[in-house]
Structure 1
Amino acid sequence: MTVNPTFPEAIVADPVFLADVRAGLSKPNKTLSPKYFYDAAGSELFEQITALPEYYPTRTEIGILDERGPEIANVLPKQAALVEFGSGSTAKLRRLLRHLPDLAAYVPVDVSGEFLADQAKTLRQDFPDLAVEAVIADFTKPFSLPETTGMAPRAGFFPGSTVGNFEPAEAEALLDSFGEILGPDALLILGVDLVKDKDRLEAAYDDAAGVTAAFNMNLLKRINHELGGDFDLDAFEHRAVFNTQASRIEMHLVSRKDQTVRIGGDSFAFRQGETIHTENSYKYTLETFCALAARAGWQTVTVWTDADALFSVHVLRRD
């Protein structure tokens, strides 16, 4: 990285975003954090991705929740407080609520306060007997549950295979943190994507319509808009590959040519073919994930998959 004193500093809405971008693009193998995918445009693109024919995870997980909802309800203790980590849309939560009429409280946790408030308001309107206690927090860091949950038995909800976006050691630490937040004997319901045919995996992250490519490229658009970057979007392309050895899908943005990109007062050189690694999505077997959960202090109570074993929903109990 070199400093270009002639390029004016951008007006930065989020200095943490700028610091993370500078750090990631200064690495020998350039990276950008996937947490920055989700501005308004990125969130809309992701919603489009979930409806694509190639993208099986969302509809498959919803199918499991629909089919196994009564069994999930039977596993949860009566009058439980259900904590959803990184709640976002309540679409999947609603599939469970119809089976949980005696839920004591629902605690959605998300960093986006405005979106969280809107979702909580709508949920209260649709389920007037449900106590909704929203918490604005980064679920990857410790936070306190509302005092109003009192002594109610606690359960966590972490759908969408978001756990796969973390390095295995980070996922283990995250699950341990969930256990510390929820407390002894708590349950955790979470979605886990499974290892499958390489072509099917890669198609799910590189669809024919190019929506996932636009989602990945939107990260560069966001840097240009918010941080004063000058990425030429036509000079980069989307790539998604399954790394068999690491058992993960990797998303990259590939430089089509030798070029230099400026962000604020800094410049970053790219070689033709050099990539920015933007996301990992780890895929597990049932055995490897249950072993990871055990290392994090969780016992597997039960696991459900769809008929084709594309996706799994796990119920874990804190040791």
Structure 2
Amino acid sequence: MTQCWVVDLGCGSGLKTRVIVEAIAASMPTTLFAIDISAAALRQCAFTMSDLTAVKVTSFEGSYLPGLEALRDSRQNDAPLLALFLGSSISQFAVHEIEPFLGQVRALMRPGDAILIGADGIRSLAEMIAQYNDVLGIEAAFDKNALNVVNRTLGGNFDIAALAARAGFVFQAEWRDAKTGFADTLLYCPANNGTTDAHK
């Protein structure tokens, strides 16, 4: 029976991924290889997929390219692979970094594999505020986990426990790259001590 591999580069909760994986799994057994730097996100992604009986989930805690290398080394059949790079993650790269990164990704794939890349358009201020101040605290948890990774792997000294959930972001500026069309928004919020913290 035909099989399919799906690798999610930065799976998060897996809600976007599920839509795609569920559609594929309706036609063939599917293995999802979920990559994320957050162990909590990987657990949530596995839970999101837990009722899909035709989907097997394998997790890799780490960054994109080491995860793809691990997958390359573990693929023992000729089943096709679909790589997912959703959530506009590509827009977090500088323009000059995008082509080399995608070249590295392609080098870890086989002929016949494919990649699906998601990118945002310009969002309204209301949408941006809702994203960064979501009621479930997902963005705050993501940001704190990123700082935990810095502390653990790079010797940082961020006091994670002292960080409070942010609210009341104020619009500062919007930037659009002329070559790629990717947009980025700079927001700031007053800190408790009256200083201003920038957030991208």
Which residue of structure 2 lines up, in the alignment, with residue 92 of structure 1?
16
Displacement, 1:245?
A: 6.1
Which residue of structure 1 lines up, in the alignment, with residue 188 of structure 2?
253
Displacement, 1:82?
A: 0.9
**CA shift in 2, pair 1:113/1:254, >3 Å:** closer
- Deviation track 1:230-286 (CA, whole Å, cap 9, x = no partner) reads x9x89x964342225655222243668x98xxxxxxxxxxxx77x63x32xxxxxxx
After superposition, where does 1:281-296 map in structure 2 within 5 Å?
none
DSSP-derived class of the 1:205 partner: helix
Displacement, 1:180?
A: 2.0
Gaps of at least 5 residues in structure 2 are: 148-156
* In structure 2, C-alpha distance between the alignment counterparts of 1:253 and 1:148, rounded to whole Å: 45
- Deviation track 1:74-100 (CA, whole Å, cap 9, x = no partner) reads xxxx52211111111121222123321
When structure 1 is superposed on structure 2, of 151-160 and 127-136 the one drifting more is: 127-136
* In structure 2, C-alpha distance between the alignment counterparts of 1:115 and 1:202, rounded to whole Å: 26
Which residue of structure 1 lines up, in the alignment, with residue 88 of structure 2?
161
Gaps of at least 5 residues in structure 1 are: 1-77, 260-271, 280-319
* In structure 2, C-alpha distance between the alignment counterparts of 1:219 and 1:147, rounded to whole Å: 31
Where relative contact order (Cα < 8 A, 6+ residues apart) is larger, the structure is 1
DSSP-derived class of the 1:89 partner: coil
Displacement, 1:109?
A: 0.9
Displacement, 1:188?
A: 0.7
* In structure 1, C-alpha distance between the alignment counterparts of 2:7 and 2:54, rounded to whole Å: 17
Rg larger in structure: 1
Which residue of structure 2 lines up, in the alignment, with residue 129 of structure 1?
54
Identity %: 17
Instruction: Name the amino acid aligned to 2:56.
Output: A
Which residue of structure 2 lines up, in the alignment, with residue 170 of structure 1?
97
2:15/2:45 contact within 8 Å kept? no
**CA shift in 2, pair 1:98/1:226, >3 Å:** closer
Please identify runs of 4+ aligned residues in structure 1 that moved more than 4 A.
Answer: 244-247
Instruction: Name the amino acid aligned to 1:226.
Output: I
Question: Which of the residues 109, 115, 119 maps onto 2:35?
Answer: 109
Displacement, 1:227?
A: 7.9
| Aligned-residue RMSD, C-alpha | 4.0
* In structure 2, C-alpha distance between the alignment counterparts of 1:164 and 1:182, rounded to whole Å: 22
Which residue of structure 1 lines up, in the alignment, with residue 152 of structure 2?
none
User: Normalization by structure 2: what TM-score?
Assistant: 0.65
2:34/2:60 contact within 8 Å kept? yes
Which residue of structure 1 lines up, in the alignment, with residue 69 of structure 2?
143
Displacement, 1:122?
A: 5.5
Which residue of structure 2 lines up, in the alignment, with residue 119 of structure 1?
45
* In structure 2, C-alpha distance between the alignment counterparts of 1:121 and 1:237, rounded to whole Å: 32
**CA shift in 2, pair 1:94/1:226, >3 Å:** closer
Which residue of structure 2 lines up, in the alignment, with residue 211 of structure 1?
133
DSSP-derived class of the 1:172 partner: helix
2:7/2:33 contact within 8 Å kept? yes
Which residue of structure 2 lines up, in the alignment, with residue 21 of structure 1?
none
2:29/2:54 contact within 8 Å kept? no
* In structure 1, C-alpha distance between the alignment counterparts of 2:10 and 2:143, rounded to whole Å: 20
Displacement, 1:128?
A: 2.7
Instruction: Name the amino acid aligned to 1:111.
Output: I
Instruction: Name the amino acid aligned to 1:205.
Output: M
Question: Which of the residues 217, 226, 235 maps onto 2:160?
Answer: 226
